[in-house]
């Protein structure tokens, strides 16, 4: 059975190890499975839910695309495009916003987190962007969506909207109800300076994250200075519940090795962190340095990246605009 995969990444700039291990690495693996048809989107319309500098946003769109390509996404195998080039996303989102219920959106925890205490000053776009996310997914008849735990709620909303549209207009299975592909292990990579906080570009300390554009020297320095505890490496998983930094570093290692956390624990049980960090550094440098070099190379060729996005958007537009056309016919336009 063919799986139709859709996922997107916001062009926030400074993509880091958390973005790679939590999303992009998985995108590449899904792309390389013959039974999958993949659509990967730089979701720039989502980015403007908060104020953006236009020049920086343009650069971030290109940088995110470069990171996709450098990590192994192939524009000949997958549709790669940026959302704003496909007007059907906005049109479909408006139609679906008239199906979605206020009560559903009120339950979205990410709005509460991103808006902070002063919700009155948050943009309307930030409040309703889960409906745009639903349109992104549903316009491509997506059967599966790779999501982290923090996005699972939004996928549930997409499912609710699809089911309500189909029921309201008596069109069984017109909008496909997608299933989540949840990366169970190590989807959340934590800060190198605090194992209880998610790795983030907004952290004021550059030492808290490994950026996908970091040099080999940067990576070596950041892992060397990564926070640990004075105990030897753990010898069982139970020990990790109170050792978040150890769990995070072992999780990063396990992700790169494509092995379970238990196997990694057995591999380093009782050893010193200094010994483990050297081996971790070697594998991160081996995997990330070629990506960093390729990103830097691609970013020098704006025309190449822009042409890939344009070609991808043309393919996406054919699919998405047909779906919107059918939606409009169903609702009476």
Active-site choice (198, 227, 287, 315): 198
Is beta strand 144-147 parallel, antiparallel or unpaired with respect to 179-182?
parallel
322 is known as an active-site residue: no
Cα 233–chain centre separation: 30
Both tokens of residue 330?
Answer: 């169903």
Q: Is residue 43 a contact partner of residue 75, using CB atoms and an 8 Å limit?
A: no
Cα–Cα nearest to 73, from 155, 135, 146: 146
Output phi, psi for 8, to 5 deg: -145, 160
Q: Is 114 a catalytic residue?
A: yes
Handedness of CA 105, 4, 20, 196 (dihedral sign): positive
Listed in sequence order, the residues at least 6 apart from 56 whose beta carbon sits closer than 8 Å to its beta carbon are: 13
Phi (first) and psi of residue 189, to 5 degrees = -90, 130
257 is catalytic: no
Residue 46: HSE in the Cβ half-sphere, 13 Å Cα cutoff: 22
| Alpha carbon distances (Å) from 185 to 26, 48, 98, 247 | 11, 31, 37, 12
**Strand (E) positions, 43-121?**
79-82
Give kind and range of the element (H or E) at residue 124.
helix 124-138
E-strand ranges in the chain read 3-9, 36-42, 79-82, 144-147, 179-182
**36 DSSP β-pair partners:** 3
User: Could you say which of 3, 176, 201, 287 is catalytic?
Assistant: 201
Q: Which listed residue (3, 58, 77, 114) is catalytic? A: 114
Active site residues: 114, 198, 201
């Amino acid at each position: 059975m063919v799986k139709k995969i859709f996922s997107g990444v916001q062009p926030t700039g400074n993509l880091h190890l958390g973005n790679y291990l939590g999303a992009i690495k998985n995108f590449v693996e899904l792309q390389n499975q013959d039974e999958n048809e993949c659509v990967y989107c730089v979701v720039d319309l989502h980015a403007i839910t908060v104020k953006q500098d236009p020049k920086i946003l343009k650069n971030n769109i290109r940088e995110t695309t470069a990171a996709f390509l450098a990590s192994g996404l192939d524009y000949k195998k997958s549709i790669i495009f940026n959302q704003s080039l496909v007007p059907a996303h906005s049109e479909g989102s408006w139609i679906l916003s008239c199906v979605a219920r206020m009560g559903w959106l009120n339950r979205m925890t990410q709005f509460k987190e991103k808006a902070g205490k002063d919700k009155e000053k948050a943009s309307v776009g930030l409040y309703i962007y889960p409906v745009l996310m639903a349109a992104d997914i549903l316009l491509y008849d997506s059967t599966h969506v790779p999501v982290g735990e923090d996005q699972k709620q939004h996928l549930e909303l997409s499912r609710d909207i699809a089911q309500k549209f189909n029921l309201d207009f008596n069109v069984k299975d017109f909008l496909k109800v997608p299933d989540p592909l949840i990366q169970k292990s190590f989807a959340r990579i934590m800060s190198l300076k605090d194992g209880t906080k998610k790795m983030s570009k907004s952290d004021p300390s550059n030492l808290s994250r490994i950026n996908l554009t970091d040099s080999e020297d940067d990576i070596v320095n950041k892992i060397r200075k990564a926070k640990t505890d004075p105990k030897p490496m753990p010898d069982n998983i139970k020990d990790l519940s109170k050792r978040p930094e150890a769990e995070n570093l072992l999780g990063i290692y396990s992700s790169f090795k494509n092995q379970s956390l238990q196997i990694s624990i057995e591999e380093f049980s009782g050893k010193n962190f200094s010994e483990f960090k050297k081996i971790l550094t070697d594998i991160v440098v081996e995997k990330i340095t070629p990506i960093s070099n390729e990103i830097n190379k691609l970013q020098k060729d704006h025309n190449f990246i822009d042409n890939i996005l344009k070609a991808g958007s043309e393919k996406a537009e054919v699919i998405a605009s047909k779906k919107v056309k059918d939606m409009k016919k169903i609702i009476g336009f």
